[in-house]
Amino acid sequence: MIEHRPLDRLGGADHGWLNAKHHFSFAGYHDPARMGWGALRVWNDDTIAPSTGFPPHAHADMEIITYVREGAITHQDSLGNHGRTEAGDVQVMSAGSGIRHSEYNLEAGPTTIFQIWIIPNQEGGPPAWNAKPFPKKDRSGRFVILASGMPGDEDALPIRADARVLGATLMAGETVDYSLAADRRGYLVSTKGKVEINGTTLDARDGAAVRDESTLRITALEDAEVILVDTAP
């Protein structure tokens, strides 16, 4: 089963400094049919204006993965961490028992990100933050695991959830396969470029909610970049 979720049918809000699209219920957008997908709770598609951002605010008991699509995001938190994550790279924050952080676009142009929230395996624990570059050339024609809490994924950024976040870049006409276990769910978004997943066509930034599909076959109809979350149901 693949449920196509077109960009123009997503929830969202335009705050001036922030234009957000919500794949799932978030803030002022509420849809009881879209409260999450397995352990995946939030997938926000954010465009942040220059010299603006999210002022200090608190989180607890959530794994928050930020994939930077364009520009860069500058992070600062109550643990003393400070970092700038550029386009194509990833940062993760395990909120644990509680953390305060800010996220700003200090660049000359807009910054666009996917912010992905995944419910952790257990509540509490010490908060943590980390970031890592993932060169797009290393993802050419194949999936690379960007963040994961699953055994054997030691090269990925660690999260405390039964889930993994993957990325692939594809030239037009290229195909990549991904095996999804019977008890898992997948959620895929094309960052840019039109793709086909098991016969369903997605435009850039559309979502595809997947279950009961043992193999995902993603074909790029245009040069494309895709992000996939594989999560517990």
pLDDT at 25: 98
Domain range enclosing 93:
2-231
Residues 133-151, mean pLDDT to the nearest whole number: 96
Alpha helices in 5-112 (DSSP H): none
Q: Report the C-alpha gap between 121 and 160 in whole angstroms.
A: 6
Q: What are the pLDDT digits (tens) for 53-99? A: 999 999 999 999 999 999 999 999 999 999 999 999 999 999 999 99
∠ at Cα 147 (164, 136), nearest 5°? 110
Banded model confidence at residue 114, pLDDT cuts 50, 70, 90: very high
Closest CA to 88 of 44, 49, 50, 136: 136
Q: In the structure encoding, which two tokens stand for residue 183, read together?
A: 């008890």
Count of structural domains within the chain: 1
Banded model confidence at residue 11, pLDDT cuts 50, 70, 90: very high
Please state, in angstroms and as integers, the Cα–Cα distance from residue 118 to each residue in 62, 69, 207, 232, following that order. Answer: 6, 19, 16, 10
Residues 171-198, mean pLDDT to the nearest whole number: 97
Side chain identity at residue 131, one-letter code: A
Q: Find the CATH number of the domain harbouring 62.
A: 2.60.120.10
User: Is the backbone of residue 121 left (phi > 0), alpha (psi -120 to 50) or beta?
Assistant: alpha
Q: Report the C-alpha gap between 142 and 132 in whole angstroms.
A: 18
Residues 105-112, mean pLDDT to the nearest whole number: 98
Average pLDDT, the chain: 97
Please state, in angstroms and as integers, the Cα–Cα distance from residue 216 to each residue in 45, 127, 172, following that order. Answer: 23, 34, 17
pLDDT at 98: 98
Phi, psi of 226 (to 5 degrees): -125, 150
DSSP state of 153: -
Banded model confidence at residue 123, pLDDT cuts 50, 70, 90: very high
